[in-house]
Structure 1
Amino acid sequence: MSRMPRARTNPEMRLRRELHRRGLRYRVNHPVLPGRPDIAFTKVRLAVFVDGCFWHMCPQHSTMPKNNAEWWAQKLQRNVTRDREKDVQLVGLGWKVLHVWEHEDPEAVADTIEGLVRDARATERN
């Protein structure tokens, strides 16, 4: 497990490239925020997490290992619980939180993020 990349995964990098191509600028793995969001738009307070289907128990693609199944079930459920805990912490700090799955289309996710960022900027101006 220690060999699993924590940052710069392929799905994350595809999303980051698409956001950057659209002119959106962000912080990566913001160290001050709970959970170190993969992508953080600090001015509009939007935290984005790109979740892996296995590690975060995607309802469509999650699989459970057969060996040591009880340990894995507890481990993966704890990941999901920790995700919800950091979401609550971020919301408490005034941030919006968006979780996307690694299998989602980067362009579609970028559309969603771009809309959220632009709406937040428009609200900020008013």
Structure 2
Amino acid sequence: MPMDRLSTEARSALMARIRSQDTAPEYAVRRALHMMGYRFRLHRADLPGSPDVVLPKYRMAIFVHGCFWHRHHGCRRCSMPRSNTKFWEEKFQRNVKRDVRNMEDLKSRGWRAVVIWECETKSGEELVRRIRDVFGDRKV
């Protein structure tokens, strides 16, 4: 098994700094939605999975997923760590199962749940196109 380049303490400190809310991809989605005239709420704890962005008018919940943590298939950011692989495989499986469960719970409550991937937020134009695809013919 390959050794980690960082010590256990350094790796732990690095992982502890990873945010779960208010990330750069989340801010990009919020900026784009606001610029397009959509109004929204953030992290509604009363909805399954506490979606990152909620548009009550459209009964739509948007999750902004990190490609690495939520396993965006086919994305170069979806790599597998070379050390402690058993732990990571189990962790990623739990994340994906939880994501599926949250999406199903939202759907059963009459909400539309959408995932915008971290890699889709890198280009502002691509993000706006993605958001337009999500809303289809719905107008602000």
Q: TM-score, normalised by structure 2?
A: 0.78
Report the counterpart of residue 34 of structure 1 in structure 2.
48
Report the counterpart of residue 20 of structure 1 in structure 2.
34
Q: 1:106 to 1:12 in 2, by over 3 A?
A: farther
1:60-71 alignment to 2 at 5 Å? 60-61=75-76, 62-71=78-87
Give the match's secondary structure for 2:113: strand
Structure (1/2) with the larger helix percentage: 2
Q: Which has the larger radius of gyration?
A: 2
Q: Is the 8 A contact 1:47 1:96 kept in 2?
A: yes
Runs of 4+ aligned structure 1 residues displaced above 2 Å come to: 105-122
| Structure 2 unmatched ranges of 5 or more | 1-14
Count of aligned positions: 122
Q: CA RMSD in A?
A: 2.0
One-letter amino acid of the structure 2 residue matched with residue 52 of structure 1: G
| Structure 1 unmatched ranges of 5 or more | none
Q: Is the 8 A contact 2:61 2:112 kept in 1?
A: yes
Q: Is the 8 A contact 1:58 1:101 kept in 2?
A: yes
Q: TM-score, normalised by structure 1?
A: 0.86
One-letter amino acid of the structure 1 residue matched with residue 37 of structure 2: G
Deviations for 1:52-107, whole angstroms, at most 9, x for unmatched residues? Answer: 01100111121111111011001011101100000010001000111111011444
Percentage identity across paired residues of the two chains: 39
Q: Is the 8 A contact 1:11 1:106 kept in 2?
A: no
Q: 1:17 to 1:69 in 2, by over 3 A?
A: same
**1:51 aligned onto 2:65:** yes
